[in-house]
Amino acid sequence: MKLKIVIIDDEESIRDSLAWYLEDLGHEVITAAEPSSCEIYQGDRCSQQQPCGHALITDYHLPQMTGLEFVEAMTQRGCKGITANKLIMSGNANAIDRHRAEQLGCLVVQKPLRFAFVERWLEEVKKRINTQGCTACDEPGDVSIT
């Protein structure tokens, strides 16, 4: 199953290497240094009819807000994404409020990520999508974060 994955990380080398790897696996990848073009980041409610992607991989330390704050805003403002398919990565994962992350359905991981771990996580994402039987999740919209 080909997934549409959104990667947000202000470190270009991490963002690009992860994107290249996922594209080599056959996935569609949207990358951004920050989520500034997302309506939710702007403070608005999500107006999309379908999810922007199947999964979100975001850095914790982003310009203007943390990855956890962004996911929280997504939840509060009606994001169509699947909350369980959100991964927050950090160079200091111990500093993240893991309880809050769990409440939001996020997995918190320490950088650097191992590609084998990412592949296993994406297999779990696919299982969740197949189990939920969500047609919107199978065909995310053509929304991009630039």
For residue 68, the domain's CATH number is 3.40.50.2300
Bridge pairing between strands 28-32 and 86-90: unpaired
Q: What is the pLDDT along the chain (146 residues), one digit of tens a residue?
A: 899 898 999 999 999 999 999 999 999 998 888 877 665 556 566 666 666 788 999 999 988 889 999 888 887 877 766 657 899 999 999 888 899 998 888 999 999 999 999 999 999 999 988 886 554 344 444 433 33
C-alpha neighbours within 13 Å on the C-beta side of residue 86: 27
One-letter amino acid identity for 36?
S
Whether residue 1 contacts residue 129, with contact meaning beta carbons closer than 8 Å, is answered with yes
- Quick one: pLDDT at residue 63? 85
**Neighbour-count burial of 127, counting CB atoms closer than 10 A to its CB (0-12 exposed, 13-18 middle, 19+ buried):** exposed
* In-domain check, residue 75: yes
Look at residue 116 in the predicted model and tell me its pLDDT.
Answer: 96
Is 146 domain-assigned?
A: no
Q: CA-based angle 139:144:146, to the nearest 5? A: 160
The count of domains in the chain is: 1
- Helices assigned H by DSSP within the chain: 12-24, 67-76, 98-103, 115-132, 135-138
pLDDT at 42: 63
State phi, psi for 26 to the nearest 5 degrees.
100, 10
By residue range, what is the domain housing residue 42?
4-138
Residue 27 falls within a domain, yes or no? yes
Question: Considering only CA atoms, which of 42, 50, 48, 51 is closest in space to residue 6?
Answer: 51
